Structure 1
């Protein structure tokens, strides 16, 4: 998944402003204690990041 697609999915699920806050501030244990932005910079695949976000925020399976 492309980063632009990932960012669009994040914004669609949480709203643009909240998505930016999640990406910048929320630390995910499943991403090794990184934020979304840090994980992207470290080269973690976007699918893996999306799965971590969905698990942490209990996104329903049909929207994952």
Structure 2
């Protein structure tokens, strides 16, 4: 997962709450850091995404592949 995919996934899943969650919610799974701090510290975006999903009880079905654009159709 790239950072852009991570940010897209956060936007789709959390909408207007996304930016606040990234800067305010401390995630124990990434070293007791916020999502933004974890990414800035070099934690892979996929790991941060999964930690954010676990902390906010996002259903498993919406975690995998989130943030990826749909393939282009010919």
TM-score (norm 2): 0.81
Q: Give the aligned length.
A: 63
Q: After TM superposition, which residue ranges in structure 1, 4 or more long, deviate above 4 angstroms?
A: none
Q: CA RMSD in A?
A: 0.7
- SS of 1:59's equivalent in the other structure is coil
Say whether residues 1:59 and 2:58 are aligned partners: yes
Work out which of the two has the higher radius of gyration on C-alpha atoms and give 1 or 2.
2
Higher-RCO chain (CA-CA 8 Å, sequence separation at least 6): 2
Extract unaligned runs of 5+ from structure 1: none
Q: Higher helix proportion, which one?
A: 1
Equivalent runs, 1:20-35 vs 2, <5 Å = 20-35=19-34
Residues of 1 paired with 2:2 and 2:45: CA distance? Answer: 7
Q: Which runs of 5 or more structure 2 residues have no equivalent in the other structure? A: 64-74
The structure with the greater share of residues assigned to strand is 2
